[in-house]
Chains A and B, each alone.
Chain A
Amino acid sequence: QKEVEQDPGPLSVPEGAIVSLNCTYSNSAFQYFMWYRQYSRKGPELLMYTYSSGNKEDGRFTAQVDKSSKYISLFIRDSQPSDSATYLCAMYNSGNTPLVFGKGTRLSVIA
C-alpha cells in the first residue's frame, strides 16, 4: 500500500458544482497536510495548508482533515472553468522529512 492514495480521475463537473477531492494515507505520524494545484504544463503551486485535524477555509476552497480516518478532503464551491487543473495532496510528519505527494486528481470544470 502506498503511503498516500489519491484517485487520479479524471473528474468532470459543470460550472457552479461543488467538487470534492480526497486522499487517504497510511502513516499516522503525518501532521501537516497540503493541497497543491497544477495547471497543464506548469509546476505545482501551494493552494491550501492545514496542520493536524480540522477544517480550513479560503474563499471557495475548504480543506478538511480527519486524522482518525486518515482521510483528507478539498472542497471547491461554485467551481469555475479556471479551477480546471490537477490537484495533488501532500503531507509530512515533522522535522526535516520531505513531503509525500499523492498522484493527483485531474479536474475539468465545464462551462
Chain B
Amino acid sequence: DAGVIQSPRHEVTEMGQEVTLRCKPISGHDYLFWYRQTMMRGLELLIYFNNNVPIDDSGMPEDRFSAKMPNASFSTLKIQPSEPRDSAVYFCASSRTSGGASEQYFGPGTRLTVT
C-alpha cells in the first residue's frame, strides 16, 4: 500500500486566497483525521470522519475552514480566505477505528505558508 497520500506537499499563497488541501487515505480505513501542527500549539485535531461522515469538527478554528469527504478515498480541507496565522503543517491520517486501539497512519503533510 502507498500509505496516506497528501497533496500538495508545499503551498505558498497570499493572504485572502483560497487554499485546498487533499488527502487519499489508506484503502479499507474507515476513519480519516485532519490535523494541524505548529511549534506553539503542537498537533491539533481539526476534524475527523467515519465512513465519509464528519463526526467531530469542534477543532476547526473558524468558519473559514471547511472539510469534505465525498467518498472513501478522498478528502479535502479548504481554507477561504486564508490568513498568515493559518501557516502550519497540515496532516491527514487514517485508521481502522477512531481510538487508540487502532494505529493512525499519517501522511507526509502539507506545509502551508500564507504571506
Contacts and interface: CB of A to CB of B under 8 A. Distances in A.
Interface in A76-105: 88, 90-92, 94-99, 101-104
Contacts of B98: 96-98
B106 A99 contact: no
Interface residues of B, number: 24
B42 interface: yes
A44 B106 CA distance: 6
Interface string B99-112: 11101111111000
Describe A's contact surface by its main secondary structure: loop
Interface stretch (B11-19, B43-51, B63-71, B74-82): B43-51
A43 interface: yes
What class of interface size applies to chain A in its complex with B?
Answer: 20 to 34
A46 B100 CA distance: 10
B24 to A, nearest CB: 14
Interface in A12-57: 32-34, 41-46, 49
Given A90-B100, A92-B99, 16 more contacts: A32-B101, A42-B108, A43-B91, A43-B93, A43-B109, A44-B43, A44-B91, A45-B106, A46-B104, A94-B99, A96-B55, A97-B99, A98-B48, A99-B104, A103-B43, A104-B42
Interface of A: 32-34, 41-46, 49, 88, 90-92, 94-99, 101-104
Interface of B: 4, 33, 41-43, 45, 48, 50, 55-56, 91, 93, 97-101, 103-109
